[in-house]
Structure 1
Amino acid sequence: MTPSHLVRYDLVVIGAGPGGFASAEEAARRGQSVAVIERGELGGTCLNRGCIPTKLFLGATECASDLAAQAKMKVASGDISFNLPALQDRKGKLLAGSRTGMEKKLAGLGITLLRGHARFTAPGTIAIDGDEATTIEYSACVIATGSTPTAFPGMQPDGDRVLNSDALLDLTDVPEHLLIVGGGVIGLELGRVFSRLGSRITVVEAMDRIAPWEDPEVSKLLAGQCKRAKWKIRTGQRVASLVTEDDHALLTLDSGDTITADVALVATGRGPVTDGLNLPALGVTPDAKGFLPVDEHLRCAAHVYAVGDVNGMAMLAHTASHQGRYAALHAAGTAKTPYESGPVPWCVYGAPESFRVGLMPEDAKAKGMTVRVSRAMLAANPIAQAHAAVQGFIKVCWHNGRVCGVTAAGHGVSHLITPATLAVHDGWTKDDADRIIWAHPTLDEALLDALTAEQTDN
């Protein structure tokens, strides 16, 4: 519904992505009056242009990697072809159904959904510019407006042959040659999708390795797997310009070298969405990168919280949800202590997968900590063997005899992220790992092997 007169809500949430939805749901379940303001599609980037469509594409095409692995063992042969327009149709139906489900859930919780652009007019008051302009008041507000793809000068997407991740996920024709600028999570995951669909892949990364924020061993394994899939990877090279020219994407490096491709993906990062909010009305000034600074309770102003990508703390859907729930609890007076995320799990999906949670050995040493490392190789795991995907490892970082970090790369390792997070969160000892029964045969046993293996100096 859209109120025709000034209405006051206990909590107003701006943005219906993971952070905003979690915040609204938490408050409504506690009996508060809640309104959600959304100018676009329910679900935000994660549902509509990020996590969910990307994983749908990866899941639909994973059989190509499975067949290739078994073919190397000479136990299978054949070809798999994919229908990208049909996949796009399936994506559209899945996302539409999810949005409908979200809207019904909001209604079932008694949450008012307001469509339009939110604009602060003063502390405690928001104007909504939509089909029916209105103004509402709030006791507390959560800004959960998310992020959008960004690009460096000279390589801005033009919607023609130079695309961002949003546009690439809408393609219905498979490019013969896909050039990816940026070897991080987005570039690697979408590269895997289009490689399976039949594209030749070239990755250009300014850092000295792909997946530059991951453990160096992970970067090395991922690079090796990409090269085995016949990707061309050029690291340590900066881009001078990227434009559409003669129906192709033309990239020019600082060195003067050029690369031509049918389509180029710019995957160099994301930035916060704060346009039109009129933050000066709250006395809020974004930082140099546009993120909203928050205090220890995730507040960017009195009674106003900023959660998820917009605060830049950890640009992940699950951290947004975690922060959103905390903000609702703190606004209601239930949460008293400062926000504490605990160890944050990070994953890269595809074939192979990777994850990390807690400290990597390099992180620990930078903090002046003395650490030891134990590890297990997937080559010894029966499930990895069954899938003919034995390249990979699990590495555990220990401090004073307790787990302080876990890193892994290889077949299906993302499924181990929750027990690994528990091990880091609770600071497991080797004996803790031995106290529970680990099912056999499972991939989980590789984590057990890593937790109970001999520890060595790193």
Structure 2
Amino acid sequence: MEERKVDVAIIGSGTAGLNAMGRVKRAEKDFVLINGGEPGTTCARVGCMPSKAIIQVAEDFHRRSLFVREGIEGGEQLKMDIPEALEHTRDLRDNFVDRVLSNSTDHLSEDVFIQQYARFVEPGVVELEDGQRIRAEKFVIATGSTPIVPEAWKAFGDRIVTTDEFFELEDLPASMAVIGLGVIGLELGQAIARLGVKVTGIDLSENIGGITDPEVNKAAIEVIGKEFPLWLGQGAEITEEPDGRLRVTAGENSVVVDKIFASLGRRPNLDRLGLDKLGIALDERGIPAYNPNTMQIGDHPLFLAGDVNADRPILHEAGDEGKIAGYNAGHDEIRAFQRKTPLAIVFSDPNIISVGSRFADLEADSFKVGEMKIAPVGRALIMGKNRGTIRVYADKQSGRLLGAEMVAPRGENLAHLLAWCIQKEMTVGELIQMPFYHPVMEEALQAALTSLYHQVEAKNAGPIAELISID
């Protein structure tokens, strides 16, 4: 049987795999990049980029509801051509994918970029679909993830839609149940509701969008719940109606819909790899134990990176993990890297944000909370988006900023400012010494930080502290 030897084999050509490849090339190691299925990143094909395209279309169309208030005539006459909007989204999606490929795998020879599935047959050796074997000193596993669909639901065929199918739809149904109100469920659920689909949102959890702060969660439910009903705290059951439509029941609630958007999370693409051949145990999620600072699986010459580990399924984190895995696969000595401040954004309207430590992660009585409601914020009022709340957390004694959760317009920008400050280990006192323009959304953050400053023990020395203490 034909066998080829390389220094490093990278399995998966998504964001993590491509970033790993960059580090392996920099280390001047001989490598192959193996990819089964569609090339291109999840983000570009079915994730963050096409979803933002349809979200933008929906938001632009939704703005017409403010036209009368603003004195713009004829807004109510505007119509939405759904097939055209979906084609526009696909055109942008294809452009994003082409850009990824043209800047990465399009430049690799067939000997280096192998478009086949691979499976471990013994330690250090994978076998491809055509029978060829690749022996490598180290492997980077960056095989990504797949949407979860319960086995019983598969009998309903194309009436169950995941992100893998959503962007291929040529039209939207009249009604849809969105089951799972995490990032994707909220983003696309709100978008299609704004495009005219009758949406019902359902989640087993009482929280939406990954929020753990009860006050922020309450605000988010209030805002999103005005656009479509939210059934929380109950699992969903699906049955087929005589006319072929689907009945979704959650507790005492029931609705009949044309299609269901299943956004129940994603499972790691590890089942094809044959990790059992290497004696590697998997946890209840189907993931092997690994070090998040080195990406190494136990003491094996294997490195796990990107969505496949289900830790931080976000593009910039996948990129960082790929770089860490690629660096360690390309060097003899295993090096641990400090991870960046956690940052998560739901591109709903308003944005739902968590940055740094989440509320549920903090020890009771060790931190203080600063809060600002969005309702009276001048810039938000002008935009017609004065909904939500900002909550920021700091160490009670030192005043060091720890994290934040919020539902706020332009929260994506506020979150970045906070992430940078948390990573620099700044105190609340230092933050409120920074300039804040008027009128901007950052003033809402300033108010939350000022509220927080009054509660922590550490105070700034000098005139600033005196000024802040003025009522």
Same fold (TM over 0.5): yes
Deviations 1:13-41 (A, max 9, x none): 11122211211123223433332211122
**Partners of 1:393 and 1:96 in 2: how far apart?**
37
SS class of match (2:75): coil
Corresponding residue for residue 55 of structure 1: 52
**Partners of 2:440 and 2:5 in 1: how far apart?**
53
TM-score, normalising length: structure 2:
0.86
CA shift, 1:305, in A, is: 0.6
After TM superposition, the structure 1 = structure 2 runs for residues 159-174 of structure 1, keeping only pairs within 5 Å, are: 159-174=157-172
SS class of match (2:391): strand
Q: Does 1:298 align with 2:295?
A: yes
CA shift, 1:304, in A, is: 0.7
Deviations 1:35-67 (A, max 9, x none): 221112223322212222111110122112333
CA shift, 1:170, in A, is: 2.3
For 2:412, the aligned partner's letter is S
Q: Greater CA deviation, 13-22 or 243-252?
A: 243-252
Do the aligned residues in 2 keep the contact of 1:69 with 1:389 (CA within 8 Å)?
Answer: no
Q: Does 1:275 align with 2:260?
A: no
CA shift, 1:413, in A, is: 0.9
For 1:290, the aligned partner's letter is G
Corresponding residue for residue 394 of structure 1: 390
For 1:371, the aligned partner's letter is F
Corresponding residue for residue 246 of structure 1: 243
Rate the CA distance shift 1:9–1:85 in 2: closer, same or farther, 3 A.
farther
Do the aligned residues in 1 keep the contact of 2:377 with 2:444 (CA within 8 Å)?
Answer: yes
SS class of match (2:173): coil
Deviations 1:280-309 (A, max 9, x none): 222222211212321352222511111122
Corresponding residue for residue 237 of structure 1: 234
Do the aligned residues in 1 keep the contact of 2:40 with 2:101 (CA within 8 Å)?
Answer: no
For 2:11, the aligned partner's letter is I
**Partners of 1:199 and 1:33 in 2: how far apart?**
51
Deviations 1:355-388 (A, max 9, x none): 1112233421xx3451111233434545423322
Deviations 1:387-414 (A, max 9, x none): 2211123221010311001222121211
Q: Greater CA deviation, 310-319 or 404-413?
A: 310-319
**Partners of 1:85 and 1:141 in 2: how far apart?**
43
SS class of match (1:375): strand
**Partners of 1:433 and 1:447 in 2: how far apart?**
10
TM-score, normalising length: structure 1:
0.88
For 2:401, the aligned partner's letter is V
**Partners of 1:177 and 1:428 in 2: how far apart?**
48
Corresponding residue for residue 28 of structure 1: 25
Do the aligned residues in 1 keep the contact of 2:45 with 2:94 (CA within 8 Å)?
Answer: no
After TM superposition, the structure 1 = structure 2 runs for residues 328-407 of structure 1, keeping only pairs within 5 Å, are: 328-333=326-331, 336-364=334-362, 367-368=363-364, 370-379=366-375, 381-399=377-395, 400-407=398-405
For 2:49, the aligned partner's letter is I
SS class of match (2:370): strand
Deviations 1:192-245 (A, max 9, x none): 11111101111122223433644222322222222322x122222222334475
Structure 2: 5+ residue stretches without partners: 457-471
For 1:124, the aligned partner's letter is G
Do the aligned residues in 1 keep the contact of 2:122 with 2:277 (CA within 8 Å)?
Answer: yes
Corresponding residue for residue 86 of structure 1: 84
Rate the CA distance shift 1:245–1:191 in 2: closer, same or farther, 3 A.
farther
Corresponding residue for residue 114 of structure 1: 114
Corresponding residue for residue 63 of structure 2: 66
Corresponding residue for residue 124 of structure 2: 124
Do the aligned residues in 1 keep the contact of 2:374 with 2:387 (CA within 8 Å)?
Answer: yes
Q: How many residues get paired?
A: 449
Aligned Cα root-mean-square deviation (Å): 2.8
Do the aligned residues in 2 keep the contact of 1:29 with 1:109 (CA within 8 Å)?
Answer: no
Q: Greater CA deviation, 136-145 or 436-445?
A: 436-445
For 1:78, the aligned partner's letter is G
Corresponding residue for residue 188 of structure 2: 190
**Partners of 1:39 and 1:325 in 2: how far apart?**
21
Rate the CA distance shift 1:30–1:440 in 2: closer, same or farther, 3 A.
farther
Q: Does 1:289 align with 2:285?
A: yes
CA shift, 1:332, in A, is: 2.7
**Partners of 2:318 and 2:233 in 1: how far apart?**
32
**Partners of 1:103 and 1:94 in 2: how far apart?**
14
SS class of match (2:176): strand
CA shift, 1:344, in A, is: 1.0
For 1:98, the aligned partner's letter is F
